[in-house]
Structure 1
Amino acid sequence: MANGLTIGQAAAYVGVTIKTVRHYHRLGLVREPVRDGSGYRRYGSVDLLRLVQVRTLAGAGVPLAEIGDLLDAEPERFTAALDDVHRRLTERIEDLVARRDTLHRLAHGDRVLLPERACTVLDRLAGLGFSPDYVATQREALVLARAVVPDVFDSFLTMLEHWIDDPGFIELTKRGWDAMSWDQDDPRIEELASAMADKLLANRALLAMPTGFLNRPDAASRYGLVNHHREEQLPSVARLNALIEANLRAAGIDVPRQ
């Protein structure tokens, strides 16, 4: 060690690359030793210590632009500066954790767009034997409902939670989904609409919409975007829903008209 270390040896001892050591030199973080008689720059213990300090702070996330002033600061300022770095690193960690969680929810589809309560309903629908296409359509409707009619979203979820506990309603709903393959003039549609309306009317309290929503000038268009989602592609289902709504209105339920 009397003659000091070459840059390669110093880099290896500290655990960085020669390129990194030279970068530290260019930034003025570590002084560049003078060359010895053989033309080599030799690093002594003081140089090695400085390299270790810079590498440690850089590895801890301290920006390189701040390391020089930090190492040359008085003890109190050094401590205060480290506290500031700690705070900023904590904020970065929290931000990264939030981004990671968002990516996790994206990987699991519904979780980024819907609350856990809605995801539970979708999971239950799948478990009750509904087709993936039906569950996907309900997922889309829930996403739309949360965005377009947020003031009725919770009551909508409450209705779904109640209905999926009713085997009779489950059976009727599956028949309703099967109806998409029927001709729109199929007489079974009218029969099914009457049965579904009767089932809904068995618990009228669940059908009530907030007065504030019904009084909105755009209530009908908002309601239609959700309740009639994808109907333009399914004429038989469109007729089924229209008949159900007509039966509900005839029974005194205030259903927005488009």
Structure 2
Amino acid sequence: MPVILQPCPWGKVKCDDGGVLTIGQLAGYVGVTAKTIRVYHAKGLLPEPPRDASGYRRYSAADAVELIKIRTLAEAGVPLARIRELRGGGLLPALKQIDDDLAARIRGLRDTRARLRQLADGRLSALPADVVDHLAELPALGFSERWVALQNDLWLLVFATHPETARANFRDQSAMLTDPALLELVLEYDRVHDLDPHDPRVDALAERLVSATRARYGAELPSYERGSAIPALVQGAVNASSPAWRRLDALMRERLSRATPDRPS
């Protein structure tokens, strides 16, 4: 009876040795390292084959097929712990769940990327849309970039800590800028930033601001919740920006307190 010779699927590997491979041969053909195979053994992903008389592991075709499957799943980004679960059965449902999880991660990464692009373009803000629009209009009114940036940061702080009070104060302050006289006062506040704090223009502006404040609010100045540290924090940030602004604040507080001596600070 003639012998039918079958081609060996392992290329140059001899097929007269029982069709087995050493760990190095298996690693080379499948495209992983021997260390990786040992890791798969340790994690229970790939059963460890028996050793031969010389103490070497000998791998069969079935081992190679299993290793290829593991490698394919690992390269697809499936965690090793999940791969072990897949070997227990239910491959298709598990792969569907993995695919769904990856799709969700991709959507999340795309959203994060979009937000980062918005941030880079200056279009991402935790502020309400009308506040963002208001800030965008300030340069056209004549305010400096420094002023707009400071206003953005301070409104972020106020809206995050006192949203209801912030909303009321925002309506009030944005309305101020529709009055030409008040708009000019606020613009001058912006412009004195770089003046010497004892420049006469700082004193004159303080007097005008006090008069306008009394005319607009009387004795009831806008305030935050009693005991809040935010007003002092906000004013401290303003004062830290400019010695002239710091002195302007001190002058206004002094002159306003004369008119309302019983008002808590």
Q: Same fold (TM over 0.5)?
A: yes
CA distance in 2, matches of 1:197, 1:244: 12
Q: 2:74 aligns with which of 55, 58, 74?
A: 58
Aligned-partner residue type, residue 226 of structure 1: V
Q: 1:243 aligns with which of 215, 239, 252?
A: 252
Q: Find the partner of 1:218 among 224, 227, 231.
A: 227
Equivalent position amino acid for 1:243 in 2: M
Measure, in 2, the Cα distance between the counterparts of 1:111 and 1:185.
Answer: 39
Q: Distance in 1 between matches of 2:115 and 2:32?
A: 34
Task: Let me know the Cα RMSD of the aligned residues.
Answer: 4.9
Task: Say whether 1:133 aligns with 2:142.
Answer: no
Q: How much has 1:223 moved relative to structure 2?
A: 2.9
Identity percentage over the alignment?
Answer: 32
Task: Please give the alpha-carbon distance, in whole angstroms, between the structure 1 residues aligned to 2:136 and 2:73.
Answer: 48
SS of 2:188's equivalent in the other structure is: helix
2:36 corresponds to which residue?
Answer: 20
Which digits, 9 at most, give the CA deviation of each residue in 1:103-161, with x for residues without a partner?
66776679466455544444433455533332333233223323443321223333454
Q: How does 1:93-108 map to 2 (within 5 A)?
A: none
Is the contact between residue 6 and residue 43 of structure 1 (CA under 8 Å) also seen in structure 2? no
Structure 2 unmatched ranges of 5 or more: 1-7, 10-14
Q: CA deviation at 1:89?
A: 5.4
TM, length-normalised to structure 1: 0.62
Specify the code of the residue in structure 1 equivalent to 2:138. Answer: L
Within a 5 Å distance, the mapping from 1:14-163 to structure 2 comes to 14-32=30-48, 41-44=58-61, 46-73=62-89, 75=90, 78=91, 81-82=94-95, 85=98, 111=124, 114-115=127-128, 117-126=130-139, 128-163=141-176
- Looking at both structures, which has the greater relative contact order when contacts are Cα pairs under 8 Å and sequence separation is at least 6? 1
Q: How far did residue 167 of structure 1 move? A: 6.0
In structure 1, runs of 5+ residues without a counterpart are: none
The answer to whether the aligner puts 1:190 opposite 2:204 as a matched pair is yes
TM-score by length of 2: 0.60
AA in 1 matched with 2:231: Y
User: Is the contact between residue 14 and residue 52 of structure 1 (CA under 8 Å) also seen in structure 2?
Assistant: yes
Corresponding residue pairs, total: 243
Q: Could you tell me which amino acid in structure 2 is paired with residue 142 of structure 1?
A: W
Greater per-residue helix proportion: 1
